[in-house]
Structure 1
């Protein structure tokens, strides 16, 4: 017997249907078909070959299977008598064409130390490429092939991206040419270890070995990033990938093409994050800004009068929400240009003008006291005079060495064994007597900034004694 649909049931069905979110409808999902067809020709596969010399061994490639003692014996016995052997390495990556006369953008790590670079187009043409310039800091390289009338990518602006926006990539993961993957923008302005000058775009687009150097497109078919890195524990994609913003990549591209090298702005400070306790210590209404842990001598910051303990709140009027926001902003400023910092110092906001310097190539630039060790019971730690050897190694003219950290405010503040305490609040600590005096005067229930040296690097923590 057929089911009968009553008017009441029909009304209920319509009401339920109206409550289903629109994004669950298949018609709301993006269609990448036309975008892929339009943009596949601008993507290239890049294969490289490099060779390295290695001394030949009397047992060839099987020597590693011998016990270590025999390996060392034969290496010493035949050292200098066996000819060097050339080993050939091959790798693969992706790139995209940015000018019709053959300029191609990719990652530096794709072509680094390559003896031969072959670029393969979508129509299967293969051309040998030369490196016009490369920049390790941004992981960008510019290649050139001898060709004219090539299809070119539409270059977009990464500053227009929004978190949650759909994006897609075309590349050659594991050598599978012209593989398309898609996802959304997960975050913007990510700072990664050793990459302080790049505000990475994070996405969940599947990126794997071979995708490096390929384009990240928006839904307008514009390249808004260069796929560069992934976060992984397995060696493959785990849902977190990073792309170099196109605004940064094109600035590097223009410099490499025009002059073969890249210059970046430089301030000359070592910075750290501002947490809640530090924010209260410095009179901030919320945790933000970049705390100056140290000032590099003879740097633009030193010439401008920046001080340890300053909190940089803005660069040229742009707020510094996290400390990682500052290096990219300074790095993209023109060398020699005038800039201004908004700084919190002593509870007051001041404006500090400075002249932007040029980032150096490496990007970085006491007597033992006889006093007895101090237990520092109020803090829950033990200190002793700074050893002379450590003072010379780190070029310090005073301080106390933390030898033990027990339960208490010091541990809660993050102070560790072997830290060197240099300053408590506004009082310098040159030795144990000064340390005792500074600790005795600490107020209860109020955070105080403590300046440390940890493994040679300055750091500031917020210490709070219980009421």
Structure 2
């Protein structure tokens, strides 16, 4: 089992050497109460209204629901490929010490070892094993599970109740949502379950069925604790539930009281590795969209805008003249790419897509991913204090992109210009970086320091204008002050990362 520390929030690890645990951030619980009519009392002084629930009791039993859905839930066993060895008999101990002198005493020891001990295959010579859960979504045997359950599988086997086992083949996976689709290799007809058409409410009952610790067919009950959770795993939201979910539940379904799948269990918050009542499921709508594409082509295609973005916080909003902190700020336009071809620029604040407001960078990523490649969308941006609509033809989301190598760290001249309002000392670059401005010192305790600006960072823009000299930076600060801004927006490059930083201006 692999784990990630120090964060206690992790994907349920699989058993065996294919186990994967992904650390995610600890989140707070949320809940709701129902409002009822106030009780009436004959007393002269009216008592405070009481809060009542519309229903007086929970279901007496979930047995009828479980009897209906359990035959469609499966346990999944995965066998990974065995590691390759150097020869038919494996490596010898002598091979592990290639630099050992010929006259070394250990050579005699190796020669006298019994044959069964001469070859060393190592701890990874056996195929790895893993377990998880899944559920059948069609009579011909399509099964949904998690991508991390079957990742690296050489052989997949599904098991039903009464020890019915079948081999399965991989149809397709989507790492961004952690969804995978497999198909049972059989001509039999299987009982299946359906996805729910609507999102459950916070407080609704939820039933989790799966294969925790290899105990197939385990059922637990709880409620939906929260919606829209960000667990640090891509732009998609997750549903939080408090039904007991443990190792091996990965890929298993969570049902509503109608026996419909409302989510696919994928991660838990766990300081100890076991259940503490906080689990996360991929919402049914997200899973359906992915599965539909996997069934039709084995892959998932998403729209791609071709920009690097960051959130607009309050200081950034103030520096841009926005009345509220929302939208996504473009820190870099990928060239070539759809955004570059359409004319989007660094520093544009994206406020809406096809008229739908953009809350933050995750929201923009979700919206764009929801469109098919080649779709034309209208992107509303704020540029130079004015809103404008730019039509963009989306591209296909790349399966992988090379990470650009970092340029050599620019060297600054010794003498610098102090910018008291920013809490920075800046100097002109030299050599190949002569047309740049380098941060040579940062006042400790300044807003710039608190926001991560460090010595050696390159200032690219101030107030939306490119800067090549220290005078350009100073002029940008003066202009922001003249406009009554509380902060000035700077585009800064730190190593490979380019970002916008809204630095509060000190009153001079």
1:373 to 413, 416, 420: 416
SS in 1 for 2:219: strand
**Residue 195 of structure 1 aligns to a residue in which SS?**
coil
Contact 2:329 2:350 in 1 (8 A): yes
- Please name the residue that 1:338 is paired with: 376
Unaligned runs of 5+ in 2: 1-41, 97-104, 111-117
What is the CA distance between 1:182 and its match in structure 2? 3.0
> Which residue does the alignment assign to 2:246?
208
Q: Deviations over 1:340-390 (max 9, x none)?
A: 22222222222221111101111577986757333333322333444768x
8 Å contact kept, 1:405–1:417: no
Which of the numbers 209, 223, 244 marks the counterpart of 1:170? 209
Query: Aligned to 1:100, which of 106, 131, 139?
Result: 139
What is the rounded CA distance, in whole Å, between the counterparts of 2:415 and 2:426 in structure 1? Answer: 9
Pair 1:174–1:447, CA change in 2 (3 A): same
Distance in structure 1 (CA, Å) of the matches to 2:363 and 2:240: 15
| Cα contact 1:46–1:120 (8 A) shared by 2 | yes
Alpha-carbon spacing, 1:300–1:409, altered in 2? closer, same or farther (3 Å) = same
1:461 maps onto 2:501 in alignment? yes
Contact 1:48–1:117 (CA under 8 A) maintained in structure 2:
yes
Q: What TM-score, normalized to structure 2?
A: 0.76
Equivalents in 1 of 2:344, 2:60: separation in Å?
Answer: 50
Give the corresponding residue for 2:476. 438
Structure 1 counterpart of 2:386? 348
RMSD: 3.4
Aligned residue number for residue 22 of structure 2 = none
State the alpha-carbon separation in 1 of the partners of residues 106 and 327 from structure 2: 59
Residues 1:399 and 1:279: Cα distance change in structure 2 (over 3 Å): same
Q: Is the contact made by 1:371 and 1:432 (CA closer than 8 Å) also made in structure 2?
A: no
Structure 1 453/247 Cα, relative in aligned 2: closer, same or farther at 3 Å?
same
Aligned position for 1:282: 320
Partner of 2:425: 382
Q: Compared with structure 1, are the counterparts of its residues 211 and 402 closer, same or farther at alpha carbon in structure 2 (3 Å cutoff)?
A: farther
Structure 2 residue 71 is the aligned partner of structure 1 residue 41: yes
Residue of structure 1 equivalent to 2:19: none
Distance 2:412 2:161 in 1: 71
Q: Give 1:94 deviation, angstroms.
A: 0.3
Alpha-carbon separation, structure 2, partners of 1:419 and 1:186 = 43
Call closer, same or farther: CA 1:240–1:381 in 2, change over 3 Å.
farther
For 1:49 and 1:245, locate their aligned partners in 2 and report how far apart those are by CA, in whole Å.
28
Deviation per residue, 1:269-310 (Å, 9 max, x gap)? 111111112222223222111121211111111112112222
Contact 2:311–2:328 (8 Å) recurs in 1: yes
CA–CA distance in structure 2, aligned partners of residues 380 and 33 of structure 1: 66
The runs of 5 or more residues in structure 1 that have no matched partner are 1-10, 64-72
CA contact (8 A) 1:130 1:144 kept: yes
What's the CA shift for 1:102? 0.8
Alpha-carbon separation, structure 2, partners of 1:364 and 1:329: 24
The 3 A distance-change label for structure 1 pair 430 and 110 is: same
In structure 2, C-alpha distance between the alignment counterparts of 1:169 and 1:74, rounded to whole Å: 57
**Which residue number in structure 1 is paired with residue 167 of structure 2?**
128
Tell me if structure 2 keeps the 8 A contact 1:173–1:210. yes
- Residue 44 of structure 1 deviates from its aligned partner by 0.5
Give the counterpart of 2:487 among 410, 433, 447: 447
Kindly indicate whether residue 361 of structure 2 is the aligned counterpart of residue 318 of structure 1.
no
The structure richer in strand per residue is 1
- SS of the equivalent of 1:236 reads coil
Shift of 1:120: 0.7
When residues 447 and 379 of structure 1 are mapped into structure 2, their CA distance, relative to the original with a 3 A threshold, is closer
Equivalent residue for 2:291? 253
Q: How does 1:20-419 map to 2 (within 5 A)?
A: 21-22=52-53, 25=56, 27-28=57-58, 31-53=61-83, 82=119, 84=121, 86-145=125-184, 146-157=186-197, 160-196=199-235, 198-362=236-400, 372-386=415-429, 398-419=436-457
TM-score, with normalisation over the residues of structure 1?
Answer: 0.82
Going from structure 1 to structure 2, the CA distance change for 1:30 and 1:225 (only over 3 Å counts) comes to farther
Asked if 2 retains the 8 angstrom alpha-carbon contact of 1:105 and 1:143, the reply is: yes
Residues 266 and 356 in structure 1, CA contact (< 8 A), matched pair in contact too: yes
TM superposition shift of 1:87: 1.6
Separation in structure 2 between the aligned mates of residue 257 and residue 417 of structure 1, nearest angstrom: 52
Check whether the contact 1:58–1:74 (CA below 8 A) recurs between aligned residues. Answer: no
Change (3 A) 1:384 1:156: same
- Secondary structure of 1:177's match? coil
Partners of 2:426 and 2:437 within 8 A in 1 = no
Paired with 1:324 and 1:254, the residues of 2 have a C-alpha distance of 23
Q: Is the 8 A contact 2:206 2:254 kept in 1?
A: yes
Partners in 2 of 1:449 and 1:248 — Cα distance?
Answer: 36
